[in-house]
């Protein structure tokens, strides 16, 4: 019998992170799940250990991560939350996952699953896509036995916060979705639940090296 895995989730309160946590709790392949959160968070779900962390404190972050088998990273912010401050944006979207990855690798973690974005490219002229690409490159360079990079387009599902721009984008992309064929399929909208299911499936498969998952690959993994 395969031994149950331990997991750490960063970004558990977002759309994908919430679904991921719910699925992990019900999955017998995972015996313990730690949620690292920036703000107080209360849940009655079993198997969870919730740790409030100052992500800018390396020693505190290292202690909180421990030695998991898998680290799932769904962290992300918005321009609105950081009031357009690109440095503040970078501290969340780049520093947190990259520092967590370095610590996890050093502590013997075998797998790192990262939520990125379609179009991520370190050479992009777009700040957001460039930053996501830089994160992807840093994770790949960390050298995990298994690294999964998930690139969703527009996410479907109910967020805890209201995002007008995203809501409008969803309406447009869902209308155009039937036209997105061939090389454009990667831009199809996908539910946060499907992304979460794909992340868990990829962690279980433990494919060697770094693998990038776009729409079709995520849908296939999600079943």
Show the tokens assigned to 34: 């730690």
- Residue 159, pLDDT score: 57
Q: How many residues does the chain have?
A: 223
Residue 66, sorted as left (phi over 0), alpha (psi -120 to 50) or beta, turns out to be left
Report the C-alpha gap between 200 and 198 in whole angstroms.
Answer: 5
- What string of DSSP letters covers 31-56? EEEEEEESS------TTEEEEE--TT
- Pairing outcome for strands 146-150 and 155-156: unpaired
Model's pTM, two decimal places?
0.90
| Arithmetic mean of pLDDT, 131-154 | 97
Higher pLDDT, 162 or 46: 46
Q: Please list the active-site residues.
A: 128, 132
- Residue 169, pLDDT score: 57
- Pairing outcome for strands 5-10 and 70-73: parallel
Worst-scoring range by mean pLDDT, 2-11, 61-70, 124-133, 178-187? 178-187
- Residue 175, pLDDT score: 56
Contact criterion met (CB below 8 Å) for 144 and 105: yes
Report the C-alpha gap between 209 and 145 in whole angstroms.
Answer: 6
Q: For the segment 156-212, what is each residue's pLDDT rounded down to a tens digit? A: 876 555 454 555 555 555 655 666 667 788 889 999 999 999 999 999 999 999 999
Worst-scoring range by mean pLDDT, 52-61, 85-94, 137-146, 165-174? 165-174
- The residue extents of the domains of the chain are 5-222
- Residue 177, pLDDT score: 61
5-222: in CATH 3.30.930.10 = no
- Residue 164, pLDDT score: 47
């Amino acid at each position: 019998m395969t031994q149950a895995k331990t997991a750490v989730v960063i970004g558990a309160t977002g759309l994908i992170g919430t679904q991921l946590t719910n699925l992990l709790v019900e999955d017998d392949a995972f015996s313990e799940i730690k949620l690292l959160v920036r703000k107080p968070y209360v849940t009655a779900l079993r198997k969870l250990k919730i740790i409030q962390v100052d992500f800018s404190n390396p020693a505190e972050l290292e202690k909180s991560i421990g030695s998991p088998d898998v680290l799932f990273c769904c962290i992300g912010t918005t321009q609105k939350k950081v009031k357009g401050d690109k440095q503040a944006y970078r501290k969340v979207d780049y520093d947190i996952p990259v520092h967590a990855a370095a610590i996890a690798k050093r502590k013997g973690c075998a797998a790192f699953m990262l939520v990125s974005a379609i179009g991520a490219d370190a050479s992009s002229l777009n700040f957001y896509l460039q930053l996501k690409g830089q994160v992807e490159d840093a994770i790949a360079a960390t050298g995990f036995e298994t690294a999964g990079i998930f690139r969703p387009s527009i996410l479907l599902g109910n967020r805890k916060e209201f995002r007008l721009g995203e809501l409008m984008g969803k309406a447009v992309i869902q209308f155009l979705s039937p036209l997105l064929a061939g090389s454009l399929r990667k831009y199809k909208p996908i539910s946060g639940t499907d992304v979460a299911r794909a992340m868990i499936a990829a962690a279980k498969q433990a494919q060697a090296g770094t693998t990038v998952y776009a729409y079709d690959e995520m849908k296939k993994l999600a079943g």
